[in-house]
Amino acid sequence: MGSQRSFVFFILASIFGSIFGQQEFLQHFCMDKNGFYTRGSVYEKNLNTLLSRLPSLIDSYGYSNSNSGKVPDRANAVVICRGDVSSDACRDCVKRSVPMLTKLCPTTKAAVGWLDYCMLRYSSGPLTGPQSISPNETFWVYNDQRNTTSPDQFNKVLQSLLEDLKPKAAAGGSRLKFAAGNRLGPDFQSIYAIVQCAPDLSAVTCSDCLTRTFSLYPICCDKRIGGRVITPNCNFRYEIGAFYNQTRSSNL
């Protein structure tokens, strides 16, 4: 999908499914803003070299910012795994993502794809810092099992929880900007949520990114018992059931 047509992609699908056996991306974008490469080109060789090494380059926080080759044929790649995911699960997610994304986007120099546990993004251009902000590649998924029984109260509790988690994530270090928590909602339902930013973002930029994604909640997930809004730079997710590793999250 060209960047000129990928401003916002709407996914009307259930958040639940076979997460552990997930074989397809939640979403992916093949961006043509950086052009295309030809088979056998120096860029393709650099990209293939980088992607083959990528799982081994991921740190203990589930992050990698790596490159291969020299400008103008340098290939850059970023991996961001969900903050509560183990290193083994992160690496496995990336190993599955690489062949999927290169097959779906066979000649575009820039692409991004998301599985439940990880995001893989590569490009011939920069993928860190303010210049990497990419609001065009935004999508959402909601839980369509049923609606909340007390939507106004539910929304207030959820928004309060997300706003509480936002500064905690933004205050994270240069390897991880992630926060998770829960709060008792209406009808004795507990609401669980996570928020995460690309760790290279400043605290202010992270906070601004999350504010933008939160603003999409009324369009995406109003009255839904679960949902998420995802961009290459930040995301949030909530459910009425515990979906993240609470033990690992509390130790971050």
Give the total number of structural domains in the chain.
2
User: What's the average model confidence in pLDDT over 87-110?
Assistant: 97
- 100 and 7, same domain (yes or no): yes
Q: 1 pLDDT band (50/70/90 cuts)? A: very low
Tell me which residue has tokens 């009425």: 240
What pLDDT sits at residue 252?
Answer: 72
What pLDDT sits at residue 195?
Answer: 98
C-alpha 100/C-alpha 242 separation (Å) is: 29
C-alpha 197/C-alpha 207 separation (Å) is: 9
Domain's final residue, options 133, 167, 200? 133
C-alpha 93/C-alpha 16 separation (Å) is: 18
Q: Which of 14-18, 149-153, 195-199 has the lowest mean pLDDT?
A: 14-18
- 126 and 166, same domain (yes or no): no
- 9 and 89, same domain (yes or no): yes
CA-wise closest residue to 208 among 126, 121, 135, 116? 135
20/76: higher pLDDT = 76
Residue pLDDT, tens place only, 152-197: 999 999 999 999 999 999 999 999 999 999 999 999 999 999 999 9
Q: Is 170 within 8 Å of 143 (Cβ atoms)? A: no
User: What's the average model confidence in pLDDT over 11-32?
Assistant: 64
Residue pLDDT, tens place only, 234-247: 999 999 999 999 98
- 158 and 215, same domain (yes or no): yes
Domain's final residue, options 133, 165, 183? 133
- 146 and 243, same domain (yes or no): yes
User: Strand, helix or coil at 215?
Assistant: coil
C-alpha 105/C-alpha 157 separation (Å) is: 40
Residue pLDDT, tens place only, 25-64: 999 999 988 899 999 999 999 999 999 999 999 999 999 9
Q: In what order do the strands lie in the sheet with 108-114?
A: 27-36, 108-114, 118-123, 75-81, 63-68
- 87 and 166, same domain (yes or no): no
CA-wise closest residue to 10 among 172, 249, 165, 220? 220
- 233 and 129, same domain (yes or no): no
Q: Which of 11-20, 58-67, 197-206, 228-237 has the lowest mean pLDDT?
A: 11-20
User: Strand, helix or coil at 69?
Assistant: coil
- 9 and 126, same domain (yes or no): yes
Burial class (CB in 10 A: 0-12, 13-18, 19+), 218: exposed
C-alpha 216/C-alpha 27 separation (Å) is: 17
Mean model confidence pLDDT for the chain: 90
Whether the pLDDT of residue 229 is over 90: the answer is yes
Q: Which of 14-23, 64-73, 98-107 has the lowest mean pLDDT?
A: 14-23
- 127 and 145, same domain (yes or no): no
- CATH for 72: 3.30.430.20
- 148 and 35, same domain (yes or no): no
User: Within a 13 Å sphere around the CA of 92, how many CA atoms are in the beta-carbon half?
Assistant: 11
Q: Is 11 within 8 Å of 140 (Cβ atoms)? A: yes
Domain's final residue, options 65, 98, 133? 133
Whether the pLDDT of residue 3 is over 80: the answer is no
- 39 and 158, same domain (yes or no): no
Q: 130 pLDDT band (50/70/90 cuts)? A: confident
For residue 132, give the amino acid letter: S
Whether the pLDDT of residue 146 is over 70: the answer is yes
CA-wise closest residue to 179 among 113, 250, 243? 250
Residues 6+ apart with CB under 8 A from 8: 136, 138, 139
Domain span including residue 160 = 141-250
- 156 and 88, same domain (yes or no): no
CA angle, corner 231, sides to 139 and 66, nearest 5?
A: 135
pLDDT more than 70, % of the chain: 91
